[in-house]
Amino acid sequence: MATSLRQFALIGRRAWKKTRILSFGRKFSLTSKRMLLSETYYCNDAWRKHLQDSNLNQVNVSEFGYQIRDQLEMSGTVSAVDMNVLVHQLHNMDDDEADFIEDLLTRFNMCQSSIPRSDSTAHAIVRGFLAKSQDGGTRLVRLLSQPLLYGLFPDHYSLNLLLDKLIEGGDFTGASQVAYHTMLQEDVGSNPVHTLLCLQATVARLMHGPISDLALPEPEKGEDEEEDWIKVKYIKFPVYDDHFDIKDERFLLGKTLYMLAQGQILNCPEQIVTSLSVIGCGIHHKFLQGLSVLERALDSLSGFVSQQALDFFAESLENVEARDPEEPEVEIALRTVDDVIRRLLPTTEEKDELQRRFGQLKEKLLSHNKIQEDFDLGPAVNDFVKSELPKYENSDIDNQIKKFSQWQKEREAELTNQVEELVKNQRIEEMKNQVKELQEQEELLSYFDFEEKIRLTMMDDDLAKDENLTVAK
């Protein structure tokens, strides 16, 4: 317990560190390390008090964990409240037991009792891994990225703790993965603190290296082999939904940036919103959508576009692969999702037209003095997030303290119900055993009364089997 509290206390010690990163041949300034959330936001005192609940301290964490594993292996299920109690003891586990907990989470995710998802359980998992495991942040990002396997869906407050930890450590790759998780859940904008942290994470990821590094590696081309055709009942038609099916991180980042811009971030400067929209559309290869954003900025009296955003958009448009319009379509039996994605690429003529329109819009923006040369998205977002976060922290803190009390009451009620159900089942089994014993006693007592009837019944059965059988009188 003391160790985890000291680790939480260390969160309050932060230092500023300036980093200059070269990307796309241009220099961007990026604040890589700072404390975004205050120490008060972590509610450490309330969490320590929450862990002192007697229902959480009555079990030996190691023994209880193995009991849950054995129950999962024997019956394939375990109660949600038992898992809740276990994960609240993560701070008492050894670092090398993290894999064991992951295995339990995977098995529990397959149980019907895991539905509905518990915010209390998810919060305890996030707190436990961040405080105990040395690679807790990285591990949590991996769990989040595989929701069907682990079923981890933390609430905004829990995700905020994870984001702050990742951003503090300069792990912008992991922090952006958390933002992608929120984007895929279409939950951008519902919690101001979370939205601001996602904004910080994704912009940091954008500035932290060339966009081309985020692209999927080119598939290896194998040698042409003879095709074997087999008969199947039906052919599965590949579908690409441009959301959950996205694997290319460029598209995940671009879509997240655009959704953040459209998520109506409170008090967000228009320059940031426009830059997010233009850059997001560019790296997501939604070029027509991006041109529409530029047209609106041109027509707006107060609209401006940064040179930085135009450079990102131009670079993405220049590097996008143009497909041959005469390229034959892959046969449906051999078609894959990659083939469907390829059909979304612009043709050579379409790319030329997009570049022509972009060039014209850029000239018009320049002639109307609507291009900002000195605007840098990285520092602008840093300053905005730093100034806005304190405005929304108190609301989250008050809500979280109330949740701790609510979760404790819910856990108490669940444990009470579980004990009552266990007692009831034990009583039913006892009654069944008593009835069985009474029946056996009754048969024994009445045996001699029905002995003749039983003997005649057995005789009839013997004669039915053998008609030549002679029965002695």
Asked if residue 408 and residue 367 are part of one domain, the reply reads: no
Domain membership of residue 232 (yes or no) is no
The tens digit of pLDDT for each residue in 421-436 reads 888 888 898 898 888 8
- In the predicted structure, residue 33 carries a pLDDT above the cut 70: no
Answer whether 315's CB lies under 8 Å from 211's CB: yes
Per-residue pLDDT tens over the stretch 202-226: 999 999 888 888 888 877 765 666 7
Q: Do 392 and 366 share a domain, yes or no?
A: no
Q: Are residues 370 and 393 in the same domain?
A: no
Task: Evaluate whether residue 382 is within a structural domain.
Answer: no
Beta bridge partners of 21: 28
Q: Note whether 370 and 394 are same-domain residues.
A: no
Is residue 31 domain-shared with residue 84, that is, in the same domain? Answer: yes
- Does 394 share its domain with 282? no
Q: For residue 138, give the nearest of 107, 179, 177, 108 by alpha carbon.
A: 177
Domain-located, residue 454:
no
* Residue 114 and residue 62 share a domain: yes
Is residue 157 located within the same domain as residue 295? no
Q: Which domain holds residue 155?
A: 1-209+387-446
Q: Identify whether residues 369 and 396 lie together within a single domain.
A: no
User: Does the pLDDT at position 451 exceed 80?
Assistant: no
3-state secondary structure 220-252: CCCCCCCCCCCCCCCCCCCCCCCCCCCCCHHHH
Mean predicted confidence (pLDDT) in 314-338:
91
Q: What angle do CA 75, 77, 81 make, to 5 degrees?
A: 135
CA distance 149 to 105: 9
What is the tally of structural domains in the chain?
2
pTM for the predicted model, two decimal places:
0.83
The answer to whether residues 320 and 401 belong to one domain is no
> Is residue 224 in a domain?
no
Residue 57 lies inside a defined structural domain of this protein: yes
- The predicted pLDDT at position 102 comes to 92
What is the distance between the alpha carbons of residues 197 and 178, in angstroms, rounded to a whole number?
10
- Looking at the fold, whether 96 and 10 belong to one and the same domain comes out as yes
Residue 66 pLDDT > 70: yes
